[in-house]
Amino acid sequence: MAEIRSLTDDELNEAARMADAVFRKEGQTSMKRAYPFIFSAAAASCSFGAFTNDGSLVSFMGLVPWDIRIGEATVHACSLGSVFTLPEARGQGLASDILQHIYRYMRQMEAPLLFVSGIKSLYARTGCVPFGRMFRFSLHGDAAEAVRGRANRPDAAWSIREARADDLYRMHELAAGRQARYEISVRELGALIKAEGFASNKRQTHRVLLAERNGRTEAFLVVGASDIEDRPGLVIEYAGDPQAILRLAAESVLSCRLSSLDFAVPWHECELADSLRSAGVPASEINHSGAIRIVDGQALIRQMQPWLQARMPQSTAQTLQLTETGNGEWLYTRGEVSRTLSAQETVREIFDYADGDTKPPAAAREALPVPLPHTVGLCYI
């Protein structure tokens, strides 16, 4: 029977080598460099593996803990990625066993949310479901030229330049102003920009642009772009004034010679979405990438209380309860009303998602649904 446990420093190095063999092709950056929060020995590992009797690693799941800031609230969450099982060890249920171990571990550490980078049956069987409506914009050259053409207006006269190492504090301050975000330090911001995690999956590198006006940094944009011209690019991260972000996106398309720029905007960032629409940028409605699992409903409600109480009567917020029934369903109580919901219905109630039947929320001024940060950004695992 395989042993499931966290990894030592040497075993993390081996896991990174094995992950490269599974996920990387020739010329791609090593997973150890691209995902330091999983494979670095600089901090205690939260990742888990299955080991044979002779100590060989045969299955692995990378787990990274975060604090997610949602308005006034801080929610503990983990991201799961770099998951693999060696061919000779498949069919034994090892990945399922590791996942159940991770759920127990997260309950012990009072982390009620798990973000998963995929939506395979392995995860769906345990209650991981799609979540979080977004709008995917596709910015092409004509629209980018039109945005640049308006740049001489007094209200749009930003100076655009490449970011430098000494810009990190200014960028971090802008990122800290987002309503829903990963809570990361200045050093972590710099490390994640350098790591180029998700961009490296696409054989892209980061291009970081800043918009300044009157000596003040008003926005930044991190774009994943190929070295080959006329390829699509991807917005990885951004923060600041919505119109300045739009200007940076347009400049990225033109200066990087991109065929288009894919720009995913969570539903609650209404001003930015409106800015893109007003520039004639087409959009489609999608979910966040991957899946989410509510691991501990009561801990989730408790940690969200500062957000909830700022947007609904305190007496109502304190009646909210979310309890897993043990058969894949949840008992959701609000006031004197209790309902039994499926995992997907529960996520739609708490976080919203694009199912084709409901309209997106107008803004994040109401208590529910709760906004979440885009998971395919610098903090992607």
Q: In whole angstroms, what is the distance from residue 340 CA to residue 91 CA?
A: 34
- The three-state DSSP-derived secondary structure of 135-192 is EEEEECHHHHHHHHHCCCCHHHCCEEEECCHHHHHHHHHHHCCCCEEECCCHHHHHHH
Tell me the pLDDT band of 154, cut-offs 50, 70 and 90: low
11-60 pLDDT, tens digit per residue, is 999 999 999 999 999 999 999 999 999 998 877 789 999 999 999 999 99
The reported pLDDT for the residue numbered 358 is 77
Q: What angle do CA 19, 23, 29 make, to 5 degrees?
A: 85
Tell me the pLDDT band of 356, cut-offs 50, 70 and 90: low
- Among 205, 208, 193, 194, smallest CA distance to 161 is for 208
The reported pLDDT for the residue numbered 118 is 87
Same fold, 3-124 and 134-287: yes
Which of 60-69, 145-154, 173-182, 340-349 is the least confident region?
145-154
The reported pLDDT for the residue numbered 155 is 58
The reported pLDDT for the residue numbered 363 is 74
Compute the mean pLDDT over every residue in the chain, rounded to the nearest whole number.
Answer: 95
In the chain, what percentage of residues exceed pLDDT 90?
91
225-274 pLDDT, tens digit per residue, is 999 999 999 999 999 999 999 999 999 999 999 999 999 999 999 999 99
Tell me the pLDDT band of 361, cut-offs 50, 70 and 90: confident
Query: What would the CATH number be for the domain defined by 134-287?
Result: 3.40.630.30
Tell me the pLDDT band of 208, cut-offs 50, 70 and 90: very high
Domain definitions of the chain by residue range: 3-124, 134-287
70-100 pLDDT, tens digit per residue, is 999 999 999 999 999 999 999 999 999 999 9
Q: In whole angstroms, what is the distance from residue 342 CA to residue 138 CA?
A: 34
The reported pLDDT for the residue numbered 370 is 97
- Among 116, 98, 89, 83, smallest CA distance to 5 is for 98
pLDDT above 70: residue 329: yes
**Residue 234 CA from chain centroid, whole number:** 14
> 3-124: which CATH number, 3.40.50.300, 3.40.50.720, 3.40.630.30, 3.40.50.850?
3.40.630.30
Round the CA-based radius of gyration of the chain to a whole number and report it: 21
Q: Which backbone phi and psi does 227 adopt, to 5 degrees?
A: -75, -15
